[in-house]
A and B are shown apart, each in its own frame.
Chain A
Amino acid sequence: MKTISIIPVIRVLSWIVFLGLCIKAGAVLFTFTISLYNPPYAADLYQGLDLSILYSASRLDYIFLMAFAIILSSMQAFIFYFVVSIFEKLNLVRPFSEEIFLLISKISYFSLATGGIGLLAHQFADQLVKNGLVIGKAIDFWEGRDAFLFMGGVVLVIAQIFRRGIDLQVEHDLTV
């Protein structure tokens, strides 16, 4: 009973987070595209992110750094798209289904990939800082990389347990 009452709340929360992440990814992509044609925009990309110094020093590095930011924001939005899909397809009468298993697996793979790309982005940004370039708040985009790697691992284990749950449910359904 408690589970049933908690699920709608988590469903609404995941929708809010998903929409927020979509707006973030869209805003980063939009401001980046604008800045390519209008360089002064690199001074105020997303929530005060100023990469104008990097842009004037090396346009290629700027593009790489922003590509990491866009990819990571989009992947986080994708992870929450899968979370939202789980709540849309969840059936508590028969909770274990192949469809949900695939979504959980996708969450784990995307989380691991986000963590991995976050690590690469962090290394790249470190290199830029060592070369004396200012990247400002861009570091926020890959701040949770370790958490994503950990989450990916945990969710992968949960996906395997879920797969066993599907077998048990089929066995239960065919018990007369």
Chain B
Amino acid sequence: MGAIIVNLDVMMAKRKMSLNELSERVGISLSNLSILKTGKAKAIRFSTLEILCEVLDCQPGDILEFEKDISKDK
């Protein structure tokens, strides 16, 4: 089985935005954003994804990426 990779840090770097600033602008706590950024989150709400895309000016696909399990394909 593959895995969903969260590229939030990549998008933040592209927009030159710190975690503190993002937290303030999207209204999500630093701890929750940290859970999302480190890939520990089990699920993400549509509302969270919407506000992140709006603030980071990107598409959901820029934040989330599906990575196939290469070892199983072989």
Contact = CB atoms under 8 A, between A and B. Distances in A.
Contacts, number: 23
Interface stretch (A18-26, A80-88, A116-124, A168-176): A168-176
B45 interface: yes
B49 to A, nearest CB: 9
A18 B37 CA distance: 48
Interface stretch (B12-20, B28-36, B53-61, B65-73): B28-36
The main secondary structure of chain A at its interface with chain B is: mixed
Contacts of B42: 170-171, 174-175
Nearest to B36: A176
The winner among A170, A171, A174 for most chain B CB atoms within 10 A is A174
B36 to A, nearest CB: 5
Interface size class of B (residues with CB under 8 A): 10 to 19
Contacts of A175: 41-45
Interface of B: 28, 32-33, 35-36, 40-45, 48
Given A171-B43, A174-B40, A174-B42, 18 more contacts: A170-B42, A171-B42, A174-B41, A174-B43, A175-B41, A175-B42, A175-B43, A175-B44, A175-B45, A176-B28, A176-B32, A176-B33, A176-B35, A176-B36, A176-B41, A176-B43, A176-B45, A176-B48
23 contacts: A170-B42, A171-B42, A171-B43, A174-B35, A174-B40, A174-B41, A174-B42, A174-B43, A175-B41, A175-B42, A175-B43, A175-B44, A175-B45, A176-B28, A176-B32, A176-B33, A176-B35, A176-B36, A176-B41, A176-B43, A176-B44, A176-B45, A176-B48
Interface of A: 170-171, 174-176
Cβ-closest 4 pairs across A and B: A174-B42, A175-B43, A176-B36, A176-B32
